[in-house]
């Protein structure tokens, strides 16, 4: 029952600015919740202090204090309960293995892009319980983490160099790409996805136009065929 109630709070614990689970949640006077960093950055870049969700404008900038109770609720919601997993399954064909199991390895339930390692349910717990690891980025099990490492520095690929059109790590930024135009890798991925979406939409539009033209051509040919038959009959009469 308690777990069902917590699941029902997912909308309330999601920051409307970053669209992710609240980190260091703060509650402003209008009652809405945001990540401390997200809201601070938002207000620092604006000339007025207003709620990004309901647009209520504050005459003076409210003091932002972490909502301790909400933070504890989020921790409980994010922490997988071991009782939910009565027995862990060993990794089979096609599964990603836990990098920290000794002997026969359990199936990984998450991969960490910060640690560049995969974890079973047991070894994943420190990422939910310790403050030092709570900012790490967890994703679905990924068996190709090595492909996300810089071959030169063995660091995670975090940036995209537009000058050289290549993915690079933070060490590359300072050692070999000084003065180059760079953006975050996720931003580049989003831009490429948008470009791909626009290209696919354009292809779909062109196909629809060609299909329409083809139908009109067929209809015209049918009309001409019918007219030809009618003219033939008329001449015979």
CATH architecture of 1-78: 2-Layer Sandwich (3.30)
Residue 149: name the closest of 178, 120, 170, 175 by CA: 170
Full pLDDT tens readout for the chain, 237 residues: 444 444 556 667 788 888 788 888 888 888 888 899 888 888 888 888 888 888 888 888 888 888 888 888 777 776 655 444 445 788 888 889 999 998 889 999 999 888 888 999 888 888 887 777 877 888 888 888 877 778 788 777 888 898 888 888 888 888 888 888 888 888 888 888 888 888 888 899 999 999 999 999 888 888 888 777 667 666 666
Q: What are the distances in angstroms from CA 85 to CA 82, 96, 109?
A: 5, 17, 11
DSSP assigned state of 145: G
3-class DSSP assignment, residue 177: coil
* Tokens (6 digits) for 141: 């099990």
* Tokens (6 digits) for 90: 């060993």
- Where are the chain's structural domains? 1-78, 90-148
Q: What are the distances in angstroms from CA 137 to CA 68, 177, 178, 192, 218?
A: 22, 25, 27, 22, 56
For 75-120, the DSSP string reads HHHHS--GGGSSSPPBP-TTPPBPTT--SSPBBPSEEETTTTEEE-
3-class DSSP assignment, residue 216: helix
């Amino acid at each position: 029952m308690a777990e069902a109630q917590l699941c029902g709070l997912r909308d309330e614990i999601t920051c409307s600015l970053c669209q992710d689970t609240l980190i260091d949640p703060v509650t402003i006077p209008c009652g809405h919740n945001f990540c401390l960093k997200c809201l601070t950055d938002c207000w620092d870049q604006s000339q007025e202090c207003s709620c990004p969700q309901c647009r209520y404008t504050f005459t003076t900038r409210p003091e932002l204090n972490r909502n301790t109770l909400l933070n504890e609720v989020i921790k409980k919601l994010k922490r997988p309960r071991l009782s939910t997993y009565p027995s862990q399954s060993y990794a089979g064909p096609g599964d990603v293995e836990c990098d920290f199991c000794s002997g026969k390895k359990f199936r990984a339930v998450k991969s960490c892009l910060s640690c560049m390692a995969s974890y079973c349910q047991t070894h994943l717990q420190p990422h939910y319980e310790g403050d030092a690891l709570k900012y790490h980025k967890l994703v679905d099990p990924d068996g190709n983490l090595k492909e996300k490492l810089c071959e030169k520095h063995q660091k995670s690929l975090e940036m995209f160099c537009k000058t050289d059109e290549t993915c690079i790590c933070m060490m590359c930024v300072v050692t070999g790409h000084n003065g180059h135009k760079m953006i975050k890798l996720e931003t580049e991925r989003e831009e490429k996805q948008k470009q791909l979406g626009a290209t696919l939409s354009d292809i779909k539009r062109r196909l629809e136009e060609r299909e329409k033209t083809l139908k009109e051509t067929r209809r015209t040919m049918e009309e001409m065929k019918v007219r030809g038959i009618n003219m033939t009959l008329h001449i015979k009469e």
